[in-house]
Amino acid sequence: MYIPMRTTILLTCMTLVSAVGPAWAGDAAQLRRSFLDPPDDARIMMRWWWFGPSVVKAELEREMRQMKAAGIGGFEIQPVYPLALDDEQAGIRNLAFLSGEFLEALRFTAEKASELGLRMDLTLGTGWPYGGPDVPVSQAAARLRVERAPVNSHTRRVPLPAIGQGEQLLGTFHIETNSGAIAAEEVAGGGSDGALWFGDGAHKPEEVWFFIASRTGQMVKRAAVGGEGFVIDHYSRGATERYLRTVANPMIEALRSRIPFAVFCDSLEAFGADWTPDFLDEFQRRRGYDLKPRLAALTGDNPGFEARAIRHDWGRTLTELLNERFLAPMKEWSVRNGTRFRIQNYGTPPAVMASHAYVDLPEGEGSQWKTLRQSRWAASASHIYRRPVASSETWTWLHSPSFRATPLDLKAEADRHFLQGINELNGHGWPYSPPGAEYPGWRFYAAAALNENNPWWIVMPDVARYLQRLSFLLRQGRPANDVALYLPNGDAWASFRLGKVHMIEALRERVGDRVIAAVLEAGYNLDFIDDGSLEQTGRIEQGALSMGDGRYRVVILPGVECMPPATLRTLDRFARSGGALIATRRLPDCAPGFRATAAEHSDVRRAVRSLFEGERAPARFVADEDRELARTLRGALKPDLALSPAAPEIGFIRRTTQDAEIYFVANTGNQARNVKATFRIGGKEPQLWDPLTGEASPADVRAREEDATTIAMDLPPYGSRVVVFSSLPAPAADGEGRAAPPPPIDLSRGWQVTFGERSVFMDALRSWTDDEETRYYSGTATYEKRVAVPAAFLRASREVELDLGEGRTADPAAGDAQGEGMKAFFEGPVREAAVVYVNEERAGAVWCPPYAVDVRRLLRPGENRIRIVVANLAVNHMASRALPDYRLLHLRYGERFTPQDMGGIQAIPSGLSGPIRLIGR
Asked if residue 902 has pLDDT above 50, the reply is: yes
Q: What angle do CA 495, 498, 503 make, to 5 degrees?
A: 45
Per-residue confidence band for 738, with pLDDT thresholds at 50, 70 and 90: low
Per-residue confidence band for 735, with pLDDT thresholds at 50, 70 and 90: low
Asked if residue 9 has pLDDT above 70, the reply is: no
**Cα(266)–Cα(123) distance, integer angstroms:** 8
Amino acid at 86: D
Distances (CA, A) of 147 to 162, 182, 209, 274, 311: 10, 16, 6, 16, 19
Strand partners, 788: 863
pLDDT tens column, 779-795: 999 999 999 999 999 99
pLDDT recorded at residue 201: 80
**Cα(451)–Cα(59) distance, integer angstroms:** 13
Under DSSP, the state recorded for 229 is: S
- CA 771, 777, 782, 783 torsion-angle sign: positive
Contact 402, 448 (CB under 8 A): yes
pLDDT tens column, 421-476: 999 999 999 999 999 999 999 999 988 999 999 999 999 999 999 999 999 999 99
Residues 6+ away with beta carbon under 8 Å from 855: 800, 801, 802, 836, 838, 843, 918
Contact 908, 878 (CB under 8 A): no
Asked if residue 883 has pLDDT above 90, the reply is: no
**Cα(921)–Cα(912) distance, integer angstroms:** 23
pLDDT tens column, 117-127: 999 999 999 99
Per-residue confidence band for 818, with pLDDT thresholds at 50, 70 and 90: very low
Residues 6+ away with beta carbon under 8 Å from 297: 182, 303, 306, 307, 310, 311
pLDDT recorded at residue 820: 52
How do strand 131-132 and strand 230-231 relate by DSSP bridges?
Answer: antiparallel
pTM for the model stands at 0.96
**Cα(182)–Cα(170) distance, integer angstroms:** 19
Q: How many C-beta neighbours within 10 Å does residue 25 have?
A: 11
Per-residue confidence band for 903, with pLDDT thresholds at 50, 70 and 90: confident
Per-residue confidence band for 344, with pLDDT thresholds at 50, 70 and 90: very high
**Cα(317)–Cα(320) distance, integer angstroms:** 5
Under DSSP, the state recorded for 95 is: P
Q: What angle do CA 853, 428, 85 make, to 5 degrees?
A: 125
Per-residue confidence band for 38, with pLDDT thresholds at 50, 70 and 90: very high
Q: How many C-beta neighbours within 10 Å does residue 171 have?
A: 18
**pLDDT averaged over the chain?**
94
Average pLDDT over residues 529-539: 98
Share of the chain above pLDDT 70, in %: 95
Q: What angle do CA 233, 364, 640 make, to 5 degrees?
A: 145
Number of helical H runs and strand E runs in the chain:
22, 50
Under DSSP, the state recorded for 477 is: S
- Coil, strand or helix at 780: strand
pLDDT tens column, 345-366: 999 999 999 999 999 999 999 9
Q: Is the peptide bond before 716 cis (omega within 30 degrees of 0)?
A: no
| Residue whose C-alpha is closest to residue 49's, from 81, 84, 95 | 81
Contact 590, 561 (CB under 8 A): yes
How many whole angstroms from its chain centre is CA 249? 29
| Residue whose C-alpha is closest to residue 846's, from 857, 856, 833 | 833
Asked if residue 24 has pLDDT above 80, the reply is: no
Per-residue b or e along 758-787, where b marks 16 or more CB atoms closer than 10 Å to that residue's CB = eeeebeebbbbbeeeebebbbbbbbbebeb
Strand partners, 688: 697, 723
Asked if residue 286 has pLDDT above 80, the reply is: yes
pLDDT tens column, 189-204: 777 788 999 888 888 9
Amino acid at 832: E
Strand partners, 168: 213
pLDDT recorded at residue 737: 56
pLDDT recorded at residue 499: 96
Backbone angles phi, psi at 434, to 5 degrees: -70, 155
Element (H, E) at 703: strand 700-705
Altogether, the residues listed in the chain come to a count of 921
Amino acid at 431: P
pLDDT recorded at residue 16: 45
Per-residue confidence band for 482, with pLDDT thresholds at 50, 70 and 90: very high
Average pLDDT over residues 147-167: 93
Asked if residue 25 has pLDDT above 60, the reply is: no
Average pLDDT over residues 140-163: 94
| Residue whose C-alpha is closest to residue 774's, from 902, 847, 878, 876 | 876
Under DSSP, the state recorded for 733 is: P
pLDDT recorded at residue 757: 93
Distances (CA, A) of 831 to 94, 382, 439, 780, 808: 37, 38, 20, 11, 12
**Cα(331)–Cα(322) distance, integer angstroms:** 12
Average pLDDT over residues 11-24: 44
Distances (CA, A) of 193 to 154, 157, 189, 196: 20, 11, 11, 9
Residues 6+ away with beta carbon under 8 Å from 62: none
pLDDT recorded at residue 733: 67
**Cα(108)–Cα(64) distance, integer angstroms:** 12
Average pLDDT over residues 400-415: 97
pLDDT recorded at residue 179: 66
